Amino acid sequence: MSEINNLERFIDKMKSGQLAVGAVITFTDPTVSELCADAGMDFLWIDGEHGVMDRTTAMLEMMAIRGTKCASLYRVPACNHTEIKRIIDFAPAGVIIPMVLTKADAELAVAACRYPLTGNRGVGLRRQLRYGADPLTADYWEKSLHEPLVIIQIEHIDAVNNLDDILSVPGIDSLLIGPYDLSTSMGKPGQFRAPEVCNALDTVCRKCRAAGKWLGAYTEGDYDLWRERGLHYVCSANDTGVLFNGIRAMKERVKKEFGRD
């Protein structure tokens, strides 16, 4: 499956000690994903939680970056078996599960990403088998024990408080910190340097690394806040923000160059 989604390349980059850098995709034109992959992104976070991304478009986004060096991660709308089932046969490199608050949530997420007897994923003969080009062999079943990556999003103080229980669930591959929602759940929206927010971030990072899981975060600037926290991968921007900021900067530059407001 990794030749479809570049999972091994993504993992190898992190194993080597390099930082994997990606972006959030919310636009529904797959050209944006193709462009980002060709621009050198290591992974794309295709977002099915916020925005208007539907199931068909999500598959087209994944197809657009096949053959590049970019891994496809997909964020489902909720920690829900049906939502995960509806996307997993498209063969993303990883499934991002938002708002995991408890051990029970984490158990549900892992089970939905794995076949029986480990989990309860259904057997759908779709893109992950190249529509029948790849046979259902023992090699496939072995790979399916580890693919896709199960990425648990930590974005609420309840999740931080329950983190030991969450990390005790077998099969979690990564924690992905959502700092905006986390700080908001603490009554400190966007105040990432508030002492209590910093303490929560430190707790997640320390426990994730101690558990041997891949550690990621959505950063969008504030790089000095994250530089010493041991991240393996960062999502550095979203497509709307890049376009907005680029257009605004272009306008200001034009006005400056022409000397006219």
Catalytic residue, candidates 50, 146, 156, 232? 50
Distance CA 85, CA 123 (A): 10
Model pLDDT, residue 126? 81
| Portion of the chain with pLDDT greater than 70, in percent | 99
Token digits for 195? 């002492």
- Distance in Å from the first CA to the final CA of the chain: 54
Model pLDDT, residue 2? 63
Which pLDDT tens digit goes with each residue over 140-155?
899 889 999 999 999 9
> CATH for 2-258?
3.20.20.60
156 has catalytic annotation: no
Global confidence as pTM: 0.94
Cross-strand partners of 175: 152, 215
Nearest C-alpha neighbor of 181 from the set 155, 163, 151: 155
Distance CA 86, CA 209 (A): 31
Distance CA 64, CA 78 (A): 24
Angle formed by the axes of helices 81-88 and 103-113, nearest 10°: 30
Which contacts qualify for 216-220: CB closer than 8 Å, 24 or more apart? 216/151, 216/174, 216/175, 216/176, 216/177, 217/176, 217/177, 217/178, 217/179, 218/24, 218/176, 218/177, 218/178, 218/179, 218/180, 219/179
Residue 181 pLDDT greater than 60, yes or no: yes
Residue 261 pLDDT greater than 80, yes or no: no
Strands of 82-198 (E only): list them: 94-97, 149-154, 174-177
Mean pLDDT of the region 32-45: 97
pLDDT bracket for residue 1 (50, 70, 90): low
Which pLDDT tens digit goes with each residue over 147-177?
999 999 999 999 999 999 999 999 999 999 9
Model pLDDT, residue 3? 78
Q: Which amino acid is at 154?
A: I
Residue 222 pLDDT greater than 90, yes or no: no
Residue 218 pLDDT greater than 90, yes or no: yes
